[in-house]
Structure 1
């Protein structure tokens, strides 16, 4: 499989409810690489609010958008579980 150059694209990571219907957190990816990585650091402080005690698991998704905004793709998705 050949790596795709994402260095000029933009990316967003989302954390959603278990059924995916509610968006709980969204953050731009801090780095898009020439070898196909979208890197998003989520700081621990993002989960400091008491509401996260009831949001311990759900779905995550990373989407990327082309430089001209004309193409949007899902780069990856899955499930997350927060632990202490």
Structure 2
């Protein structure tokens, strides 16, 4: 299944790209499993998307948690928390 990825702010800077499309195996069925799959790619994904790192996620432009299911050609975005002033 193909998943469209978007990276924002410091995540985009760490990865050196703002988007990509990846083919994931059938066992990658949630946003959390996708994050783990990307981390397993090694550097720079392992640092930018590390489990202990505070990140926000969205699926099809709706904020979501790790348990959110994926569907073919969905869009998943990763970005740092935003603070206001």
What is the TM-score normalised by the length of structure 2? 0.29
Q: Which has the higher strand share?
A: 1
Structure number with greater Rg is 1
What is the TM-score normalised by the length of structure 1? 0.29
Higher relative contact order (CA 8 A, sep 6+): 2
